[in-house]
Structure 1
Amino acid sequence: MRRPPASAHQRTLPLRRRLKKTGVAALSLIAPLLYRAYMALVCATSRIDLSGLEPLFASRSTGSSAILALLHQDVFAGPYLIRNRRIITFVSISDAGTIVASLLERLGFCVERGGTSSRMSRLVPVFSRLVARCREHTRHGGAIVVFACDGSRGPAGAVQPGVALFAMKTGARIYCAKLDARPAMFLRTWDRTLIPLPFSRIRVHVDGPIEVPGGRKREDLDGLRLRIEKSLHELHARAFGGRRPIPKLIGLGEAGRPARAGRIPARS
């Protein structure tokens, strides 16, 4: 059987780019299998306490919306621990994002694509689609949206204003959470990604719900962002139980980056 002719777009792609796309497609199939196998081993051999998340999961039964605010350090293990709950999240339109999106969808997440990318042609606004998806889920029994608040490029602990902006737009209450796993490995990445080891003790520390202010002033947004940042920093310190935290977190102000969030939207 003859192969169908390549499209004009495929013919014009440079060979290097075509090979890269093939590699990304292959990893999108393989990476989820390896990840799920490893995390299944970890969970089968570990003591896991997710009781702190029960109020968050229960909030969905009331038909309301909630936000789960995490640090980027927990993006490896976190998704597996809260899988198969139709939680909403977003992933960048990068090649790595394609692999991550494939993994999350197989874990039962509802994934929107957009946000930052190294290529200007891939900058896609995702905020409005997240709001729309959240409202759709709320109409059908409740919504949970998860944010890695200091991602995707850090610095670690510097909470970006997007999560506060989303909360003010939707009225969703915020639960902050931090993963604690002992023993664990910390990758030498900017966020010191946490990878729990087999035979661990795994616990999720939770703070919330944080109520969203009714105002629309910039001061309300800044105050909410700082409240989320403070909560995550405190949970991070608690997770290490008196040991030196890895990594040392800083605030957005300490990072020398202004908390730009644009116009404060009306809640509707």
Structure 2
Amino acid sequence: MFKYFKLNILPYLLYYLVKIIYATNKKVYHHPKDDGKPIIICMWHGDLISQIYNYFAFRKNGTVKAMISHNKDGEIITNLASMFKIGAVRGSSSKGAAKVLISAIKELKSGNDLAITPDGPRGPRYSVADGVIALAQKSESKIVCFNTIPSKYWQFNSWDKFVLPKPFGRIDFYISEPFDIKNMEFEQAREFIKEKMLIHSMP
């Protein structure tokens, strides 16, 4: 019964909660000019919910797939994402990583955008795993960093310090200029992505 609730009822409750929260907040967007090319969206795990609104303000009719892990939380996130018309590429960094990478590259090559949390699903917070670097270099796609800063928020005591905006505040939505890392070594690319992502990150 509890499993059914988590997978089938909880996503609906979260969906309506998120809708109410964002409907009551003033939204301010800081977006670059959109060239329409497929992009790899990098967002921190603790800031992922807000990026739904960030993306669809940037690309109203865009198609985005999110890389979501094969775990219990991943099932909930997949069900919630589908309600916002976001697809999923399911996989694990430890099992079947090559298969997931190929699927993600196919999505980008077909013109879809790909969203990834480089510090997820286990952290540490604000770290950049190898997956996003390999994906960007093998697909030759550019990366954009998505961040949000709410004026009022709850911050959970989880490894990712998950942030949920409070109603009746202001949320600033940030998207970086697209950048590529195709000629960088892995460690150089890792530091470069992290530096870009930290510009508008929460404490």
Tell me the TM-score normalised to structure 1 length: 0.67
Q: Does 1:195 align with 2:161?
A: no
2:45 to 61, 72, 85: 72
Q: Does 1:222 align with 2:187?
A: yes
Q: CA RMSD in A?
A: 2.1
Asked if structure 1 preserves the Cα contact closer than 8 Å seen for 2:30 and 2:175, the reply is: no
Asked if structure 1 preserves the Cα contact closer than 8 Å seen for 2:174 and 2:200, the reply is: yes
SS in 2 for 1:113: strand
Deviation (angstroms), 1:116? 4.8
- By relative contact order (CA 8 Å, sep 6+), the higher-ranking structure is 2
Corresponding residue for residue 23 of structure 1? 2
Structure 2 Cα separation of the partners of residues 51 and 29 of structure 1: 35
Asked if structure 2 preserves the Cα contact closer than 8 Å seen for 1:66 and 1:144, the reply is: yes
Structure 1 Cα separation of the partners of residues 2 and 108 of structure 2: 33
2:180 to 189, 193, 211: 211
Structure 2 Cα separation of the partners of residues 51 and 206 of structure 1: 6
- Please give the per-residue CA displacement for 1:100-141, whole angstroms capped at 9, x wherever unaligned: 111111211120111058xxxxx33311111122212x2xxx
Corresponding residue for residue 131 of structure 2? 162
Tell me the TM-score normalised to structure 2 length: 0.87
AA partner of residue 46 (structure 2):
Q
- Please give the per-residue CA displacement for 1:65-85, whole angstroms capped at 9, x wherever unaligned: 211111111023323553574
TM-aligned CA distance change 1:59 to 1:29, over 3 Å: farther
- Please give the per-residue CA displacement for 1:26-71, whole angstroms capped at 9, x wherever unaligned: 322212221121122112211002342x53xx333xxx22111111
Structure 2 Cα separation of the partners of residues 206 and 230 of structure 1: 14
Corresponding residue for residue 29 of structure 2? 50
Corresponding residue for residue 89 of structure 1? 66
AA partner of residue 49 (structure 2):
F
AA partner of residue 127 (structure 1):
L
2:104 to 126, 130, 140: 130
Deviation (angstroms), 1:189? 0.2
SS in 1 for 2:146: strand
AA partner of residue 3 (structure 2):
V
Structure 2 Cα separation of the partners of residues 23 and 116 of structure 1: 28
Deviation (angstroms), 1:191? 0.9
SS in 1 for 2:18: helix
Asked if structure 2 preserves the Cα contact closer than 8 Å seen for 1:87 and 1:145, the reply is: yes
Asked if structure 2 preserves the Cα contact closer than 8 Å seen for 1:28 and 1:103, the reply is: no
Count of residue pairs the alignment pairs up = 197
Q: Does 1:111 align with 2:91?
A: no
Q: Does 1:59 align with 2:24?
A: no
Structure 1 Cα separation of the partners of residues 49 and 162 of structure 2: 7
Percent of pairs identical after alignment?
21
Deviation (angstroms), 1:24? 3.0
TM-aligned CA distance change 1:31 to 1:59, over 3 Å: farther
Gaps of 5+ in 2: none
AA partner of residue 44 (structure 2):
L
Gaps of 5+ in 1: 1-21, 118-122, 240-244, 246-268
